[in-house]
Amino acid sequence: MQRYAVYYAPREGAFAFRANEWLGHEPGNGRELPQPVLPGIGDPRDITAEPRRYGFHGTIRAPFRPAAGEGEETIRGMVSDLAARLAPVVCDGLQVETLHGFVALTPTGCEAALLKLGAAVVEGTDALRAPLTETEIARRRPDRLSPRQRELLDRWGYPLVMEEFRFHLTLTDRLDQPEPVRAALEDYFAPVLPHPFVIEDLCLFGEDRSGRFHLLHRYALSG
């Protein structure tokens, strides 16, 4: 694996199946799934290329290259230790909304707890990552970041951490007209959205040489 990340991914069940089906990919075993064609939005492959590559997930620690000398065994051990110390996050539920042009599921009723979890995971895994290269910094378009986001990028390797962290589960690429897709996905997910929505695991994902992400291991939050 060329990069690793710590994500939320739902446990096996109706919600996980429907989300994986929508993106056409099951990150746990790499199986491709036929994507559903929803009324009024055309071929789903045309609007899900980027989230399909990553697999259905919510980012907690964004992808990073491991530091020199840090192998997967060390990364697994550190994420496992973190999960053993941290508590699950219980949210009221999930809603389908548009964020900066793409459609995503966002949690309600747990903002403070999510910020705390995100900060703990970023801090707890920071020693694992290699410093950003100039190319990696440029990819984050630092000229478009706020001064605080640029500071966070330099310190933690990603600009949307700590108080800038906004947990979400991406469902589409960026769209010119997201509202029809948002409405269709609201209907599609309505029967399976969990109430409450619980983040109960830290999931270690790895990116292979082709750029596809895979679920490598799941660690229960048990602190």
pLDDT at 80: 97
Q: What is the mean pLDDT of residues 64-91?
A: 95
Other Cβ atoms closer than 10 A to 131: 11
Indicate which CATH number applies to the domain containing 54: 3.90.1140.10
Q: Per residue in 100-138, pLDDT tens?
A: 899 999 999 999 999 999 999 999 999 999 999 999 998
Distance in angstroms between the alpha carbons of the first and the last residue of the chain = 29
Query: What amino acid occupies position 159?
Result: P
One-letter identity of residue 171: L
Number of domains within the chain: 1
pLDDT of residue 152: 94
How many Å separate Cα 168 from the centre of its chain? 7
Q: Which pLDDT does position 216 carry in this prediction?
A: 96
- The predicted-structure confidence for 5-39, as pLDDT tens digits, reads as follows 999 999 999 999 999 999 998 888 878 889 999 98
Distance in angstroms (rounded) separating the CA atoms of residues 7 and 202: 6
Pairing of strands 58-64, 3-8: antiparallel
Residue span of the structural domain in which 12 resides: 3-220
SS (H, E, C) the chain: CCEEEEEECCCCCHHHHHHHHHHCEECCCCEECCCCCCCCCCCHHHHCHHHHHHCCCEEEEEEECECCCCCHHHHHHHHHHHHHHCCCEEECEEEEEEECCEEEEEEECCHHHHHHHHHHHHHHHHHHECCCCHHHHHHCCHHHCCHHHHHHHHHHCCCCCHHHCCCCEECCCCCCCHHHHHHHHHHHHCCCCCCCEEECEEEEEEECCCCCEEEEEEEECCC
Q: What is the pTM of this model?
A: 0.93
DSSP-derived pairing of the beta strands 213-220 and 93-99: unpaired
